[in-house]
Structure 1
Amino acid sequence: MKNRQNVLTAALTGLAPAVWGSTYLVATELLPPDRPLLATTMRALPGGLVLLAFGRKLPVGIWRWRALVLGVLNIGAFNFLLFVAAYRLPGGIAAMIMSAQPMFVVILAALFLSERIRLVHALACVMGTGGVALLVFKGTVSLDTVGVLAAIGGALCMASGIMLTKRWGRPEGVGLLTFTGWQLTAGGLVLLPFWLSLEDLPDGLTGSNVIGFAYLVTLGAVLSYIVWFRGIERLPAVAVSFLALGSPIVATLLGYLVKDQTLSVLQIVGMAVILLAVVLGQPRPPKPKPEQTPPAPPRSTASSSPDQPALEQERSG
């Protein structure tokens, strides 16, 4: 029963990276061009404020700085570094570096969550990176130091966010929606000054822009992060980290279906390898304990002797 619940939880949690895989398509097709920080800020802040208004509860005590740290790691810094890497590196290289995130989680979980490093996790990390390489790598080798550091930093931010969310848990009496709202709001507020200082405001919004922003706020932020944080609560941190590898699969498939991009045999193989890595990264069902045979009842000395009836008959005679 528990294994079935883990499978269902993993499937639901995997919907979040699947939705995030559509973000690039939505940003390029529906949002104002060349404004990644606007897209990221609008994705986080409005949804966070709505959830805060719905929950009517602000973090208190130690959770004031914990909510800020989680919001920065899971949303603000992660998305900012992700866009820096995407703009300064070829997409394939950026995705390959970001795919090291499960490896970081494996190490951090061993250090801070007492989760044992298993050989199957190391194998899944290698397979995940290799699958992403087959999926998105185009053969370019141009590297930019700032872009590489941003990609590594983004992977570390996501890994640290998963680990700390798992380690700290959720404060007692605070619902999952409110907890998600804290982090979205904190991440959006951190991004806000970067957006206002580095990008211009758009001249106006079209109907397509409104649809794109609505999609990012509802599916791309509120709903996806709710199921993501729910998954972190119920699954091992390492298992959740591998689910994030589904994002480049969805991005590639949408590019093929919507933008008429090619889909090669190597890319299909890469998808299969990534999916296998995700499966290997999930918790294994516990081995059934061998049934113990109950000990035989002790045999009565009186009834065990074959001569006992004869002796009793002799005595009576």
Structure 2
Amino acid sequence: MLNNRIGVVLVTALAPSVWGTTYVVTTELLPPGRPLLAAVLRALPAGLLLVALTRRLPTGDWWWRALVLGTLNIGAFLALLFIAAYRLPGGVAATVGAIQPLVAAGLSAGLLGERLSARTAVAGLAGVAGVSLLVLRANAALDTIGVLAALGGTVVMATGVVLSKRWRSSAPVLATTGWQLVAGGLVLVPLLFLVEGLPPAGLSPANLTGYAYLGLIGAAVAYALWFRGIRLLPATQVSFLGLLSPVVATVIGWLVLHQPLTPAQLAGALLVLGALIAAIPRTTRQPVPAPVRKPVCPAAC
């Protein structure tokens, strides 16, 4: 049982680790200044592919539930992330996003009945501190709209994680992942044309490679692993795994882009990993069965 649980945690952790490569793929392979195009091409084709592979459509309440979850987990989240990225330094946006485990813990206590422990709260604060050491710069400027957008993105993503746990579907996880990707992509399409206009006429092989990676690996595979983890693990623990994204992004920046890695960033990475270990205990306490008492036989029996 313990080995199975550790395996689920490690497989789920692959999703935010993959998302940590998004920055280098975007900067090195995609055309500049088209984040909403990247979001749509990341979500919609991947969702249609999963729906085609599973041949399952939503039924009953899952038509509107898929729309709500797709909007929260993908559509609204990516739109708010886009606003925050344009109005804030990346370090500020990532630090604000690091409060997501604490938001998810509070929502889980109210909607799922999960206990909000002091250990979870301390681990959440340690995660925020670790991410800030990783990515926050002393000269980072704040913008009210940008900060509100980053906070909004954090809240909608945490809400999406908790509602994904609360609303259980009997459909395969690939099918429910496809529904959400399609819904989130469709929500973003009007915003794409309103803000960025028509896609560019010509895309280079590098652009196509980047979009293919973000769609197949960054969306179809990563979101399927993420939603599988939500089914099998407590929602708060899954949210803590999201802290791996800035860690992986920092390491990839050092390895691929030759960005310097400071002692403060190393300390931040260790602090994040410590928060993850504290938030995801290796064992789960099982109730101890009461001893079975044999009936006392009277001497006359």
TM range (shorter): over 0.9
Q: 2:130 matched to which residue of 1?
A: 131
Classify 1:177/1:135 alpha carbon distance in 2 versus 1 (closer, same or farther; 3 Å): same
**Alignment partners' CA distance in 2, 1:211 and 1:13:** 25
CA apart distance, 1:58: 1.8
**Alignment partners' CA distance in 2, 1:144 and 1:35:** 21
Q: Give unpaired runs (5+ residues) of structure 1.
A: 303-317
CA apart distance, 1:176: 1.3
**Alignment partners' CA distance in 1, 2:75 and 2:286:** 44
Moved over 6 A (4+): 288-302
**Alignment partners' CA distance in 1, 2:47 and 2:293:** 62
State the identity %.
49
**Alignment partners' CA distance in 2, 1:38 and 1:99:** 25
Q: Give unpaired runs (5+ residues) of structure 2.
A: none
1:114 pairs with 2:113 = yes
**Alignment partners' CA distance in 2, 1:109 and 1:248:** 24
Which residue identity lines up with residue 3 of structure 2 in the other structure?
A: R
Asked whether the equivalents of residues 19 and 219 of structure 1 are also in contact (C-alpha less than 8 Å), the reply is yes
Asked whether the equivalents of residues 72 and 157 of structure 2 are also in contact (C-alpha less than 8 Å), the reply is yes
Aligned ranges 1:124-273 → 2 under 5 Å: 124-170=123-169, 172=170, 174-200=171-197, 201-273=199-271
CA apart distance, 1:60: 2.2
Question: Computing the radius of gyration over CA atoms, which structure comes out larger, 1 or 2?
Answer: 1
CA apart distance, 1:257: 0.7
**Alignment partners' CA distance in 1, 2:41 and 2:5:** 33
1:16 pairs with 2:9 = no
Asked whether the equivalents of residues 133 and 265 of structure 2 are also in contact (C-alpha less than 8 Å), the reply is yes
CA apart distance, 1:297: 10
Which residue identity lines up with residue 41 of structure 2 in the other structure?
A: M
Q: 1:3 matched to which residue of 2?
A: 2
Aligned ranges 1:269-308 → 2 under 5 Å: 269-287=267-285
TM-score with structure 1 length normalisation? 0.90
Asked whether the equivalents of residues 13 and 228 of structure 1 are also in contact (C-alpha less than 8 Å), the reply is yes
Classify 1:124/1:202 alpha carbon distance in 2 versus 1 (closer, same or farther; 3 Å): same
1:96 pairs with 2:104 = no
Asked whether the equivalents of residues 6 and 282 of structure 2 are also in contact (C-alpha less than 8 Å), the reply is no
TM-score with structure 2 length normalisation? 0.94
Classify 1:194/1:293 alpha carbon distance in 2 versus 1 (closer, same or farther; 3 Å): closer
Asked whether the equivalents of residues 236 and 283 of structure 1 are also in contact (C-alpha less than 8 Å), the reply is no
Classify 1:31/1:108 alpha carbon distance in 2 versus 1 (closer, same or farther; 3 Å): same
Asked whether the equivalents of residues 98 and 152 of structure 1 are also in contact (C-alpha less than 8 Å), the reply is yes
* Residues 194-216 of structure 1: CA deviation (Å, up to 9, x unaligned): 11121142131111011101101
CA apart distance, 1:87: 1.1
**Alignment partners' CA distance in 2, 1:301 and 1:261:** 85
Secondary structure of the 1:164 match is helix
Q: Give the RMSD, CA atoms, in angstroms.
A: 1.9
Matched residues, number:
299
Secondary structure of the 2:151 match is helix
Q: 1:48 matched to which residue of 2?
A: 47
Secondary structure of the 1:14 match is helix
**Alignment partners' CA distance in 1, 2:45 and 2:296:** 74
Asked whether the equivalents of residues 91 and 140 of structure 2 are also in contact (C-alpha less than 8 Å), the reply is no
**Alignment partners' CA distance in 1, 2:249 and 2:280:** 22
Which residue identity lines up with residue 174 of structure 2 in the other structure?
A: L
CA apart distance, 1:48: 0.5
Classify 1:265/1:61 alpha carbon distance in 2 versus 1 (closer, same or farther; 3 Å): same
